[in-house]
Structure 1
Amino acid sequence: MWPFATLAQAQAWERAYRSSGAQPWHLDPEQTALSFTRGYLGFKEIDRVSSRKVSGRQARIGVAHTGPESGTAAVIHLVRYGSGPDAPWEVVGTDDTTFSLTTPRYGSLVRSPLTTGGRITGVDESIRVEVRQPSSEAPLGTSPCCTPAGGDDQPWKASVEFSGARDPVLTIVASTGGHVSDVERFTVTAVRTR
């Protein structure tokens, strides 16, 4: 999903790292998770690691915003991309508990307009959905703000139109917030355009 679109890109970074020490943060799952959240998704207020579990070639890193009422916004799932000792960390999704994005299915082929959905537990939630690609700073599309949701493990559904997809893999991100910060929880999935 991010930051490398292909194995060849990850291997090119490995060569650059070995020769010049370029972008060492790719070897740190915590920094990769925060870069994904703050840089790629644009959730600047989420600025700290709240949990860390690394087991072999997989990592699960919780991220949160700083504040007295801050809970974990998401647990980012990462894997080592490649086989060498310098294989970088790659974000592959989120581990979801009280907020999920199950439609469309992970890895499915999509086109616009896109129906999204999942399940949520919470009170007075406002869900916003964005479609992103690694080669663009701005979202390719954003759902009309915002889809109301709440209750205990209740379904939610939103539609989003997008355009300008060039990358073969897109990221769909659903977020909710507004009680103590703009983004309090989020969930992501990866889909294909071809």
Structure 2
Amino acid sequence: MTSTPTTHAPGGSAPPLGSARLQPIWPFTTLAQAQAWQRDYRSGGHQPWHLDPAQTALSFTKGYLGFKEVDRVSSRSVNGRDARIGVGLSTPETTGTAAVIHLVRFGTAPDAPWEVVGTDDSTFSLTAPGYGSFARSPLVTGGRITGVDEGIHVQVRQPSSAAPLGSSCCTPAGGEDQPWTVTVPYSGAKDPVLTVIASTGGHIAEVERFSVTAVRTG
């Protein structure tokens, strides 16, 4: 996606993610799940990585998305309850950033866990479907890309399923800020928010850049 909004320190009536527009992508699908983790953490120190935005970003990238080669933090910006974490490849050929992941605290407590809400995009974007829009299959996806001999892989995922709900590979693309589009059929959606992931690579690694956005199922 192009950019998710920056959040501010929430007041008593603020939405759990700091903005009504933001969507909970991962690791929690609801505020109740985030609060259940808080109780477990307070009583027994359960999964402390939820309090670290960088570890949450890497777990999202390697665990949920399955991009095992994207395994390092390339940049870090934390402003109160809002964080942007760059993730990249640990290879001799590159030290660049594959994506900048946007995270916010899920809840108002000081120990609220970090939640992925999207990515900030530059040379590879995912602008369709619109962030937070209602999804139906087949899903029309698209954006813009700068690159040479790119092949775009698009997946539709939900946290409760290990496998993608649908995917398309690989749409040829390239040039300077050129549009791309592909339609992806999917089935089995049951979570309230789905993740749409576009990735490209193949020059030095299977995944060299990626972008994510969030769509709603109802």
Establish whether TM, by shorter chain, passes 0.5: yes
Residue aligned with 2:32, SS:
helix
- For 1:85 and 1:99, locate their aligned partners in 2 and report how far apart those are by CA, in whole Å: 34
Using the TM superposition, give the Cα deviation of residue 69 of structure 1 relative to its aligned residue in structure 2, in angstroms: 2.2
Q: 2:57 is matched with which residue?
A: 33
Partner Cα distance (1:56, 1:85) in 2? 10
- Paired residue secondary structure (1:128): strand
Query: Aligned runs of 1:19-168 on 2, under 5 Å?
Result: 19-70=43-94, 71-143=96-168, 145-168=169-192
Q: Give, in whole Å, the separation in 2 of the partners of 1:146 and 1:10.
A: 35
SS of the equivalent of 2:173 reads: strand
Stretches of structure 1 that go unaligned for 5 or more consecutive residues are none
* TM-score with structure 1 setting the length: 0.98
- Match of 2:43, as an amino acid? S
Structure 2, unmatched stretches of 5+, are 1-24
CA distance in 1, matches of 2:156, 2:65: 10
2:186 is aligned with 1:186: no
Equivalenced residue count is 193
Distance in structure 2 (CA, Å) of the matches to 1:41 and 1:180: 19
Structure 2 SS opposite 1:11: helix
The share of aligned pairs that are identical, in percent, is 77
CA distance in 1, matches of 2:86, 2:46: 26
Following TM superposition, the consecutive aligned residue runs of length 4 or more in structure 1 with deviations greater than 6 angstroms are: none
Post-superposition CA distance 1:123-177 (Å, at most 9, x none)? 111000000000011100011x210111111100011111111101000000000
- Structure 2 distance, partners of 1:142, 1:162, is 7
Q: TM-score, normalization: structure 2?
A: 0.88
Q: Could you say what the CA RMSD is over the residues aligned between the two structures, in angstroms?
A: 0.6
